[in-house]
Amino acid sequence: MAASWIAADLPPIYRDGREYFLLGHDDRLYLVLNRCPHRGGPLKFGFVNGDDEIVCPLHHGVFKIAQLVAQASTIRLDEQPATAP
């Protein structure tokens, strides 16, 4: 299994008025709401611990990545071949 990571250095990603961050997990890419489920802090500035959990930077709440990517609000990015114009 590949290491999970957060793209904290990217600019904000917005969709439907909500802010997301890019997350790599199990060799896939996801857009995850940039909002801590506990207190609403910016998860993208947290870190991934050794148990595949994201630790919130504000209150140190811990959230399993598998549960975050399973949320209905999470968008899985799929690779698609480029089409010629």
pLDDT, one tens digit per residue, over 42-80 is 999 999 999 999 999 999 999 999 999 999 999 999 877
- Total domains, the chain: 1
pLDDT given for residue 84 in this prediction: 67
Query: Given a cut of 60, is residue 1 above it in pLDDT?
Result: no
**Long-range pairs for 77-81: beta carbons < 8 A, 24 or more residues apart:** 77/28, 77/29, 77/30, 77/31
43 close to 59: Cβ distance less than 8 angstroms: no
Residue 61 lies in a domain: yes
pLDDT digits (tens, 9 = 90+) for 9-43: 999 999 999 999 999 999 999 999 999 888 888 99
How deeply is 23 buried, as exposed, middle or buried, from its count of CB atoms within 10 A (0-12, 13-18, 19+)? buried
Residue 83 lies in a domain: no
The domain in which residue 63 lies consists of: 5-77
- CATH number of the structural domain spanning residue 58: 2.102.10.10
